[in-house]
Amino acid sequence: MRGLLVPVLTAAFVLGLAPTSASDDVGEVARAGQWQLGAMRLPEAWRSSKGEGVLVAVLDTGVNGDHPDLEGAVIQGPDLTGAARGPWGQHGTAMASLIAGRGHGASRGVVGVAPQAKVLSVRVTLENGDPRREQRRSGGRDALARGIRYAADHGADVISMSLGGGSGSWEGSASEEEAVQYAVGKGIVLVASSGNDGAAANKKNFPAAYPGVIAVGAVDQRLQVAGFSNRQDYLSVVAPGTEIVTADGGDSYVVGDGTSSAAAMVAGVAALIKSAHPGMSPAHVRMAIELGTRHRPSDGYSSSYGHGVANALLALRAAARMDVPTASALARPGPYVGGSRPMPVPAPASRTPVVAGLLLLMAGMSARVLIMYRRRGDST
């Protein structure tokens, strides 16, 4: 029997002296603890895009839309777990806050990477420690595959999956891979966490390992790869993933480690790009994220860092260089099925030889018409 997906968070603890209340003091502590805001140059990136008009599907344990930092940000989708409905999940709420948290007040609460994006909550797994996870429910089979398709059919621009294991535990499944390609074919960017057993078995992790998914590892505040972050040759980028402050399932906050947080942040970066460049394909969004990294490995790629540390400002700049008319003039790529190394982007052509070529073509056509006219005149 197949197992349920595992929310990928290594550890968490409740923040502040009032864990059941998003008080002003706790909210200020939460905002002050968001070290990723500076590391990813988010305040500068927000001058260009805050994710407005973008819908990010959070496939997770469910999202509590009543948290003060997520007020007005959450659209509730279906529960596909087959379990009796319970409180919406802590893990899903945490991830949603990192993507589209609005904070509250001028300097309180968690602000996400794309604070003007909307979140579509699709419940595809249960919390770690939930006793119902051990129960084998037929209704929960292929929940991730169904969740991906639901999100694709209900307007998602980005799909965030901070979980691992998949329907086939650690082997993936055909239904999930087909769902991924279905979503990519509809122009949707998919992001997933690389996994948290990098210091142990370092297993191949799904959905991160499916072709077409941006796999994300974690770094600490020194921008060094976290020991728990999985190292695989399909890794795309890394992002902040230690001591990350997030909204809790109630109205409090937690601090935790894990590639879950890193993936949610990169999903937020994808939302910023899609908001600024709505027509950009998933392959080009991925390229922009990979090209717009800091601390790139010396040879351009490694299984620990991928292409480097994700940076919102640099990714937006890379996307701007690739956007219309340059990007639209390129042949539209199909679903991205290659490895983690980016596909080459043709350099923008100079307009001078293009104009010269057109002038020569027009001159040649005019001469041909004149010759034909003269020939016709000779024959009459």
Q: Which residues contact 319 (CB under 8 A, 6 or more apart)?
A: 273, 276, 277, 280, 284, 285, 288, 292
Map 138-169 to HEC letters: HHHCCHHHHHHHHHHHCCCCEEEECEECCCCC
> Of the listed 194, 260, 304, 340, which one is catalytic?
260
226: helix, strand or coil: coil
Active site residue 284: no
E strands in 305-375: 309-310
Please list the residues that pair with 179 across neighbouring strands.
none
Give phi and psi for 340, each to the nearest 5.
-80, -20
**Residues 192/204, Cβ–Cβ less than 8 Å:** no
Active site residue 260: yes
Q: Using omega within 30 degrees of 0 as the cis cutoff, is the peptide bond preceding 282 cis?
A: no
Torsion, CA 65, CA 70, CA 75, CA 81, rounded to 10: -50
- In this structure, the number of other CB atoms found within 10 A of the CB of residue 205 comes to 27
> Of the listed 49, 60, 160, 173, which one is catalytic?
60
> Of the listed 67, 79, 91, 340, which one is catalytic?
91
Active site residue 67: no
Give Cα separations from 293 to 39, 238, 280, 297 (angstroms): 11, 9, 19, 10
Provide the annotated active-site residues. 60, 91, 260
